[in-house]
Chains A and B, each alone.
Chain A
Amino acid sequence: MSMSMQILLVVLGVVAGPLIGGLIGGLDRIITARFQSRVGPPVLQPFYDVNKLLAKEYTVVNAWQAFCAYSYLAASMISVALFFLQSDMLVIYFVQAVGAIFLVVGALSSTSPYSQIGAHRELLQMLAYEPLLVLVIIGIYIETGSFKISAVYSWDKPLLLKLPFLFVVLGYALTIKLRKSPFDLSTSHHAHQELVKGVTTDYSGPLLGLIEIAHWYDVVLFLCFCSLFWATNIAGMIILISITYFLEILIDNVSARMTWRWMLGNVWAIGLTLSLVNLIWLYQQ
């Protein structure tokens, strides 16, 4: 790749990331509303929301929160940019984890019990999905022989055929990262009865807006990871992502929120078993 091409890709990722993320959020809301026999908000509603948040008065519980919110956004942006540069998947994973850690650290810097408990649940969620994500990346490496995304794009067969179980495992991670039921423990798109807004309780106004934008980047990053499983042509990619996301919405609507014990037990038991089986297949080749 030439230098100008690289810069173009980075700009594309950084600019298009939140736009796509926001649009997906809007579509998500409409489809969810239709599931529940409602009309739902306009498709651009997430942008209106964030716009409004950014224009609100700047209030903080603790100035350290601002550091965390900005760092979260920065890490998420960098991870998407790295993906568009087709760099090392494991590095991208570590960078996105930085964002997640800063979200938690910021929440812990408030003494509100809602925020504190939300932060700890977020940590448990990370504990649930992080190992799975590493194993998915390892699976892709075993198949293509490289950790670089560029190697996936030059691979001539869709990965899904060789890594079906690992795709399901990635689905688990995606569900947690999208804050969908049954894994919306730490915070969700609606206020909880017992946890208010969990990890984001004490972020407000512009800082909350930044966190929302960072979340869009995360959503885009994870969907990009999903798209790697059918990287041989664009149509396949889009179909795969659409089906996956539709299933996410379906799962969200038909399941209740569960406890962290259930999540950890369930995700690790099923996720690790599926990964193990799929990895053994790959190692056998």
Chain B
Amino acid sequence: MEKLTFILIVLPFLSAIFCYITPYRKIRSSIVMATAFLLIMSSLMLIRITPFSFSPITVLGADIHHIVLILDFLILFLIFYFGIKHHHLLIIIFAILQIVLLGYLEYFMIKEQTVSPIFYCDSLSLIMILIISIVGSIICIQSIPYMKNHEEHLGLRISREPRFFGVMLLFLGAMNGLVLSNDLLFLYFFFEITTLCSFLLIGHDNTERTIRNAVRALWMNSLGGALFIIALVILNSQIGALDMQKIIHTPKAGLWFLPIALLCFAAFTKSAQFPFQSWLLGAMVAPTPVSALLHSSTMVKIGVYLVLRLGPAIQGTFLTHCVAIFGAFTFLAAAALAVGQSNGKKVLAYSTISNLGLIFACAGINSSAAITAGILLIIFHAITKALLFLCVGVIEQHIESRDIEDMRGLYSKMPVTALITVIGVITMIMPPFGLLLGKWMAIEAASRNIIVIIVLALGSALTVMYWARWAGILMSDPFAGKFKTEKQPILTWVSLVSLCLGATLLSMISPWLYSWMIIPIFNEKYLQSYIVTRGILENPSGSFAVIPLSILALIGFFVSVLAVRKALRARVVPPYLSGVQLSEPGTFLGPMNQPVKAEAKNYYLSSIFGEQRLTIWVNLVAMVLITMLIGGAL
């Protein structure tokens, strides 16, 4: 137990240091691979010993509280330094505020450090650790070939890879620490590390634009940190301990909801919910594996984890209702904004914000079915989003564009990547895959809440729109003859294929995933939501036949594949262009006997869904909703 948590939390820190000081790529890659392997193995071994809790006294021979405290101040001063370096007033203010409050909390308020246990692992933590350690590790592995390409493309004289891999591994360690912490001061410490890591990773390429976006991420997340520490100060004075389990189990009458509302607010900034979406959108200037990491298994998942964790404390309150409405609104608004985008990475970013909104909505509805939906969405969103980001990264390095329009007919250039991307999109929006299972549960669980359900219905339709058109054009003609697998580094194939299998196969065993992982979460506050019989998830009001549907989908898939094989032998005709076709593809004989090139582009409906049109209103509504949330808790 101690050993496993040591590997999951401390080992990445040590590996990060080694990565940082190693000048040789080969050694660095080996360290990354070895750490990834160890993380995956120990996270899997953790399944057998969950639930557990323990309080280590020392780490690496030193008092753990002292280490955390010293590092905490170190991080805050680093953030303060970056604030001064980049002349950003807000960062400076938030950093000073946090330093003062942390000092006050540590030296004046906390009499004795008796939070016990420091680490606590239940099924929710376990699920998060599995996501972080497995998906995160796969992303780190794909970063090895990606960064090599990336640096060759930039033509750097001095490699910045040591720093990059160091921070990536640090991030994974911090995330594991965060989801295991029961002591809120520890949680806060890891929370701040992720803020710093995301700042360093977004600004990795060290150009003017990346630094600007990194600084934006830093101030927004520092705001989250400041809210967090304010909440801690209030909580400590109120219940006298910074113990997550104690807070959750404090009777509602004895709890003032303001600190909880502040923690929710901090969670929104971390998860890039409106009006803080711009830091996540700006994060796409970083190398693509960074986006994959931020969007899937780390960073943005902190927010939803935190609210799900706090769920029992706010069940049945006005606060939880506000979170549900806020989440549903984000789900809809981000989906609408995604419709207006042709930049592939931006579509992915808005889709992340949208999905997180849905998870917040689930956490806010706060019934056991909704919590189940939220957890399933976290799992499958992490896998699929990591897959899609890595795909877009590979595509971008190949065609040197991330615009969806430039991906027309990608199948003829890189068939396997195009196919994997299409599979990724399909797992996003179609039954019987996990994300749709989650969405189904979410809608059924929200059906008693009239505002939330209408918003979810609209958002769900918009979601289909922006995914379907992307999948469609990847496969558009012309077909360039025979199927030939494109050349990619072996590590790229390993990571893409493993994520692809994860997204599809794991969906098919989701009923068992539910039995093993999610059922242990239920207790007297959350009664069991679904029962599983023969691969069918069922409750009194609905049923989702995962296994039968998967079998039918597989049959349909194979029949369709056979149809493609037959179609490959069929006569190929040019697309209809309403005129005499010329030998050049897509060209017809137009007026005055002149050749005309037929062209069509996607509808992006920017007059309705454009960023410039919507963003300001969306931010305004989000601010109103957050004000409502804070005000309601006062």
**Is A126 a contact of B541 with CB atoms below 8 Å?**
no
- Which of these binds chain B: A22-30, A41-49, A95-103, A221-229? A95-103
Query: In this assembly, does B264 line the interface, its C-beta being within 8 Å of a C-beta of chain A?
Result: no
Q: Assuming A119-B472, A130-B460, is B586 touching A111 (CB within 8 A)?
A: yes
Bound together, the chains give a CA A117 to CA B469 distance in angstroms of 11
**Is B576 a contact of A71 with CB atoms below 8 Å?**
no
Bound together, the chains give a CA A249 to CA B368 distance in angstroms of 46
Q: Assuming A67-B563, A90-B443, A104-B468, is B599 touching A113 (CB within 8 A)?
A: yes
**Which A residues from 105 to 153 make CB contacts under 8 A with B?**
105-117, 119-120, 123-124, 126-127, 130-132, 134-135, 138, 141-142, 145-148
**Is A66 a contact of B563 with CB atoms below 8 Å?**
yes
**Is B540 a contact of A111 with CB atoms below 8 Å?**
no
- Which of these binds chain A: B145-153, B317-325, B566-574? B566-574
Q: A112's contact among B429, B555, B575, by CB below 8 Å, is which?
A: B575
**Is A141 a contact of B559 with CB atoms below 8 Å?**
no
List the A residue with the shortest CB-CB distance to B541.
A146
Q: What string of 1s and 0s marks CB contacts (under 8 Å) between B437-451 and chain A?
A: 000100110011010
**Is B460 a contact of A147 with CB atoms below 8 Å?**
no
- Which of these binds chain B: A175-183, A239-247, A250-258, A275-283? A275-283
Q: What string of 1s and 0s marks CB contacts (under 8 Å) between A49-86 and chain B?
A: 00000000111111111111111001100100000000
List the B residue with the shortest CB-CB distance to A136.
B457
**Which B residues from 141 to 170 make CB contacts under 8 A with A?**
none
Residues of A within 8 A of B462 (CB): 127
Residues of B within 8 A of A63 (CB): 479, 564, 567-568, 570
List the A residue with the shortest CB-CB distance to B441.
A90
Q: Distance (Å) between the CB of B362 and the closest chain A CB? A: 16
**Is A62 a contact of B542 with CB atoms below 8 Å?**
no
Q: Assuming A111-B586, A120-B603, is B540 touching A58 (CB within 8 A)?
A: no
Q: B443's contact among A78, A115, A134, A142, by CB below 8 Å, is which?
A: A134
List the B residue with the shortest CB-CB distance to A57.
B571
Query: In this assembly, does B578 line the interface, its C-beta being within 8 Å of a C-beta of chain A?
Result: yes
Q: B543's contact among A87, A127, A130, by CB below 8 Å, is which?
A: A87
Residues of B within 8 A of A31 (CB): none
Residues of B within 8 A of A88 (CB): 542-544
**Is B559 a contact of A74 with CB atoms below 8 Å?**
yes
* Chain B interfacial residues counted at CB < 8 A: 69
**Which B residues from 567 to 591 make CB contacts under 8 A with A?**
567-568, 570-578, 585-586
Q: Distance (Å) between the CB of A37 and the closest chain B CB? A: 32
Query: In this assembly, does B117 line the interface, its C-beta being within 8 Å of a C-beta of chain A?
Result: no
**Is B563 a contact of A70 with CB atoms below 8 Å?**
yes
Query: In this assembly, does B431 line the interface, its C-beta being within 8 Å of a C-beta of chain A?
Result: yes
Query: In this assembly, does B74 line the interface, its C-beta being within 8 Å of a C-beta of chain A?
Result: no
**Is A196 a contact of B600 with CB atoms below 8 Å?**
no
List the B residue with the shortest CB-CB distance to A71.
B560
List the B residue with the shortest CB-CB distance to A141.
B447
Q: B566's contact among A58, A75, A112, A204, by CB below 8 Å, is which?
A: A58
Residues of B within 8 A of A280 (CB): 450
List the B residue with the shortest CB-CB distance to A282.
B450
Query: In this assembly, does B471 line the interface, its C-beta being within 8 Å of a C-beta of chain A?
Result: yes
Q: Assuming A131-B457, A135-B453, is B573 touching A91 (CB within 8 A)?
A: no
**Which B residues from 589 to 623 make CB contacts under 8 A with A?**
598-603
**Is B460 a contact of A109 with CB atoms below 8 Å?**
no
**Is A272 a contact of B454 with CB atoms below 8 Å?**
yes
Bound together, the chains give a CA A147 to CA B444 distance in angstroms of 8
Query: In this assembly, does B461 line the interface, its C-beta being within 8 Å of a C-beta of chain A?
Result: yes
Query: In this assembly, does A218 line the interface, its C-beta being within 8 Å of a C-beta of chain B?
Result: no
Residues of A within 8 A of B515 (CB): none
**Is B453 a contact of A101 with CB atoms below 8 Å?**
no
Residues of A within 8 A of B71 (CB): none
Query: In this assembly, does B552 line the interface, its C-beta being within 8 Å of a C-beta of chain A?
Result: yes
Residues of B within 8 A of A95 (CB): 431, 549
List the A residue with the shortest CB-CB distance to B440.
A90
Q: A138's contact among B430, B447, B561, by CB below 8 Å, is which?
A: B447
Query: In this assembly, does B477 line the interface, its C-beta being within 8 Å of a C-beta of chain A?
Result: yes
Residues of A within 8 A of B64 (CB): none
7 contacts between A and B (CB under 8 A): A67-B567, A74-B552, A90-B443, A104-B472, A109-B473, A202-B576, A204-B573
